[in-house]
Amino acid sequence: MLLARGFEVRALDNFSRGSRDTLGGVDVEVVDADIRDEDALARAFEGVDTVAHLAAFGSVVESVADPVENFDVNVRGTLVVLRAAAAAGVEKFVFASTGGAIMGNARPPVDETTLPWPISPYGASKLCGEAYCHAFAGSFGLATVALRFANVYGPISAHKKGVITNFVTQALRGRPIIVYGDGSATRDFLYVDDLCEGICAAVGAPLADEVVHLASGRETSISELAELILSLTDADVPIRYEDRRPGEVERTFARPERAAELLRFAPAHTLTEGLRKTVEWFAEREATTSSVA
């Protein structure tokens, strides 16, 4: 999407979870490095106008199991990236934050005025990242925009340790779907193409120090999600309920009005439409994997 808008793009990744294959055929320069490598960042940011910082230790559950590594990647790593951006004369910094994890168990719908109160190390680390963005805008004149992502889903997400990846994979393999809790927990799901449109809009918008929720504005229960995925996959498997996991919020969805105002952001996909595309991608991947095996 950035290439289509006329940008030259350089991608920095340590490929600890992603794959170079996803960049196949895309005209970008690839830098294989960790965001905590100051020398690599200094080289990568030469001649760069805008940084979109999407790298993260991105799992709530894993952050509870290993809060120190989560802190090192998400807090120290973000500080290293911000320092490198400021030193290189970068003009714009777009930061991938989070919606539900940073808000904790605030009564939904939340918006940019809701008091953040994270209950997981992951949410706390992203709140720290937002604070450092604000500090660098104030102290170093670096224009920053923190985007609070809803729960993102879509094709090319087999590496993602999220509920949709898990449910779709289990259903396609004929295995039971496991729900942690009683299924009444809710989330705000956003299709990946819509998210990327929002990121591109933030790159181009004349904003200097903002926090914006990128969300669908729709609350979906985990039970509702499981039933929808079973319908789209035609899977006849049971839904099993187990104890809820620590650090995960009960209910969350966000108001998208500020994103509409500042970024002209409006999701184009309903949950059913986005899930159908997602299921098709996973089904094709499962078929390819099975034939190879």
Q: Give the 3-state secondary structure percentages of the chain, helix then strand then coil, rounded to 5.
A: 45, 20, 40
Q: d(Cα 144, Cα 130) in Å, to the nearest integer?
A: 9
DSSP state of 20: G
For 126, the token pair is 């992203």
Active site residues: 122
Q: d(Cα 108, Cα 120) in Å, to the nearest integer?
A: 18
What does DSSP say about strands 186-187 and 177-180: parallel, antiparallel, or unpaired? unpaired
Q: d(Cα 188, Cα 106) in Å, to the nearest integer?
A: 14
Shortest CA distance to 250 belongs to which of 60, 12, 86?
60
HSE toward the beta carbon, residue 84, CA cutoff 13 A: 25
Q: Are 156 and 281 in contact (CB under 8 A)?
A: yes
